[in-house]
Amino acid sequence: MSDTSKDTTSIALGAFYARLEDGQLVMEPYCSCGNPLDEDYNCDKCNKHCKCPDILCEDQATLNLVEKYMRTSPKFRNFNAMLGKKKFTED
């Protein structure tokens, strides 16, 4: 599906799912409908553009690292971070 055919006027709140892989932070964006998002945060399933204001952290070590980034990096300051397991399903 091309970008021009997507309805980007609809905005959804999605979330990043964060985990540590070999000591590195990995964050994957998901739409509020549960679908993984493309690199532009557009959902192919519900045709919405997502903002992803929350970071759902897999464990305490991941949350600690994300909170450190929130304190030290301007790129992370507008996020909310919390512990939780991924509840999204991938079809």
CA distance 69 to 64: 9
CA distance 1 to 8: 13
CA distance 82 to 59: 9
Closest to 45 measured CA to CA, from 10, 85, 18: 10
Note the pTM of the prediction, 2 decimals: 0.78
pLDDT digits (tens, 9 = 90+) for 48-68: 999 999 999 999 999 999 999
pLDDT, averaged across the chain: 84
Tokens, residue 76: 């992370």
Q: Evaluate if residue 10 carries a pLDDT over 70.
A: no
pLDDT digits (tens, 9 = 90+) for 38-49: 999 999 999 999
Cβ-proximal residues to 22 (8 Å cutoff; 6+ apart), any chain: none
